[in-house]
Chain A
Amino acid sequence: MGDFLHNVGLWIAYYWEQLRVWLLDATDPVHKFALMLVVMVVFALVMGGILYFVGGSRRMPRWAVLAGFVGPALLALGFGLVYPAVRTMWSSLYDRTSTNYVGFDNYVQAFTQNEFQLVLRNTLIWVVLVPLLSTGIGLMYAVLVDRTRFERVAKTLVFLPMAISMVGASIIWKFVYDYRAYALNPDGSEQNPQIGLLNQMIVWLRRALDGLGIHTGLEPQQILLNAPSNTLFLIIVMVWIQTGFAMTVLSASIKAIPADIVEAARLDGLHGVKMFRYITIPSIRPAMVVVITTIAMATLKVFDVVRTMTGGNFRTSVVANEFYTQSFRQGNTGLGAALAVILFVMVIPIVFYNVRQMRLSEEIR
């Protein structure tokens, strides 16, 4: 009897281990897809089970119904957001291995050491420039293509970068910025023709000016290596990504300006730029605030672009990237946590402004 139970125990342990391995280590595509399907089906069954079990019976006490409906989500939020956030704030007060309490040393380091001051300065530049440029260009474009024949296509073209990953966008622009050393053959042709468009444009400009007798000596640049301008060239990528969002929202709110207001203004003799200045802008101001703050929040957390294009090297790092580098590359948990908390704190005022503006615009309406 004892042997039998022992064997059953072994048997269960064996199959449990098999199942565990199957669930965790999927290596070939068939296994992966099978795992994906199993997970989705099991999850659906569990959720359906909860729904039927607690929601299906009218005699079920209310607390049980609530626990079944809200419980899983609250557990997930507690495990995935609340607990880790508190834990990170805690470990930002500890040293790099989370063993010794160091008070605010990590924050002091982040705000006083040169390399991190540079990171903060870069982040500030990003957060100012990206929202302003994206919103400005997006608004201009929305106004320019509004009610033209090509509106739909024109908008899709600018909006498409929103659909692709920031990694993809970074590769696209990295190619634009590609650099080849500039050297001429004896016959005057280039030894290494540029394959990056931007540097080719520099070469074209040089040739054109040479043709006019102006010898500038312009040469292709290592665009991503030359600080501090490289940060601006990274910012261009983010602007390129975000403009579509600004354009779409602002275009929609331009179309929502009541026709009678526009008509009245026109009767008063407003046209073109003046109409834009005195009617369009004030009417869409709430939408603009929302767009600017939303892009600012996304920009604060920008990571993919910097990571993919320069890896944060050549003085281009920003807080979100430095967080990653310190936490996962340098193994400095304390400083990484402090940078994450700094990011958190920086987001909060923007969120409040965003919410307040929306409240205000609601009241006006």
Chain B
Amino acid sequence: MTEQIPLEKSDQLVVTEGTTLNNVAATRIAKLSRSSVARARLASPWGSLLAIVIAIIWTVPTFGLLLTSFRPEADINSTGWWNVLSHPSFTLSNYNEALFGSTTNLANYFVNSVVITLPAVVIPISLALLAAYAFAWIEFRGKGILFVAVFALQIVPIQVTLIPLLTSYVNLKLAGSFWTIWLSHSMFALPLAIFLLHNFMKDIPPSLIEAARIDGAGHVQIFFRILLPLLTPAIASFAIFQFLWVWNDLLVALTFAGGTPNVAPLTVRIAELSGTLGARWYLLSAGAFISMVIPVIVFLGLQRYFVRGLLAGSVKG
């Protein structure tokens, strides 16, 4: 029973992975109809003004810091960024110093972020694909209960796991290496990944699988020839969620690599600099944008593909 929880429901219950994942739900709901209209707009000048005010509050802080990151240090400290028109001088030296200067050395942490993120996206997806395949297409005793158990693990806050995990890593002599972060992110992502991929797999018409079986295809052929191509959009969208989640994570990285500059990602370093650099905004502003550029590009660039993937994945067979 439980393994047939419909898609809409599943996507809304996102517990451990932070809220970005819930866009799944959003797009799902959106699929129903873009054309059906609910004109409940409070169409008035006041309404428009309110919308503009909200848009400004959501944009200006970022814009201000972005502008600041390109201003010379002296200008930043003597005038606010809104005075930029009376002091119009720009420089890239903040970025240069933030990336390569010895106080910040963010280039090193940028490399760490990349090295952390890619395996932490690939590993859980592969593990989850195998498990989801078994849950969806292999009958076995206790499957229902096991699947509910995996699903329920989503509610475990990662805080509950951190200290014992750290102890385990120390015992395994992995402490202070990339492995701790790769493994942690992979394990934390599994409940949701298995759950989502299972639901997408369940949406593939069973007749397709049956036909392949009758033709003599084994699990491997079914997996690679039939499921994987159909699942690509679903995998891609989960990959983007996981990418953003890992790249933007602070807690896991701080716990396992907080004191290890060779492993710590950008978020850890920036959070640290926020405390120590205090008023050196020329470094902090540039640093913040160095840490943001990749997720923003991924998000803006793949937004449409991602939505399309969700739409394709959620069309019931």
Contact = CB atoms under 8 A, between A and B. Distances in A.
B60 interface: yes
Contact of A160 (B161, B218, B299): B299
B160 to A, nearest CB: 5
Contacts of A178: 279, 281
B48 interface: yes
B74 to A, nearest CB: 12
B170 interface: no
A359 B39 CA distance: 28
Contacts of A340: 157, 159-160, 162-163
B33 A256 contact: yes
Given A144-B47, A168-B291, A178-B281, A33 B30 contact: no
Interface string B16-27: 001110110111
B156 A276 contact: no
Interface string A138-165: 0011011111000000101110111111
A316 to B, nearest CB: 14
A254 to B, nearest CB: 5
Contacts of A84: 160-165, 168
Chain A CB count within 10 A is highest, among B39, B81, B112, for B39
Contacts of A248: 23, 26
A111 interface: no
A127 interface: no
Interface in A283-316: 283, 287, 290-291, 294-295, 297-298, 300-301, 303-304, 307-309, 311
B118 A57 contact: no
Contacts of A175: 61, 64-65, 68, 281, 284-285
Contacts of A154: 51, 55
A253 B29 contact: yes
B72 interface: no
Interface residues of A, number: 141
A143 B41 contact: yes
Interface stretch (B201-209, B230-238, B270-278): B270-278
Given A55-B220, A57-B218, A76 B190 contact: yes
B54 interface: yes
Contacts of B299: 160, 162-163
B50 interface: yes
A294 B12 contact: yes
Given A168-B288, A276-B42, A324-B251, A255 B34 contact: yes
A72 interface: yes
A164 B59 CA distance: 13
A231 B182 CA distance: 33
A244 B60 CA distance: 15
A70 B130 contact: yes
B29 A256 contact: yes
Contacts of A287: 29
B312 interface: no
B58 A161 contact: yes
Contact of A69 (B58, B76, B131, B289): B131
A344 B22 contact: no
A197 interface: yes
A186 interface: no
B212 interface: no
Contacts of B82: 197, 200
A36 B118 contact: yes
Contacts of A172: 61-62, 64-65, 288
7 contacts: A56-B219, A77-B191, A145-B51, A259-B33, A304-B251, A324-B254, A355-B13
Given A47-B126, A80-B190, 18 more contacts: A44-B122, A47-B127, A74-B150, A84-B163, A143-B40, A143-B42, A147-B39, A163-B300, A165-B250, A167-B250, A170-B271, A240-B61, A255-B37, A259-B35, A262-B39, A294-B14, A324-B159, A343-B157
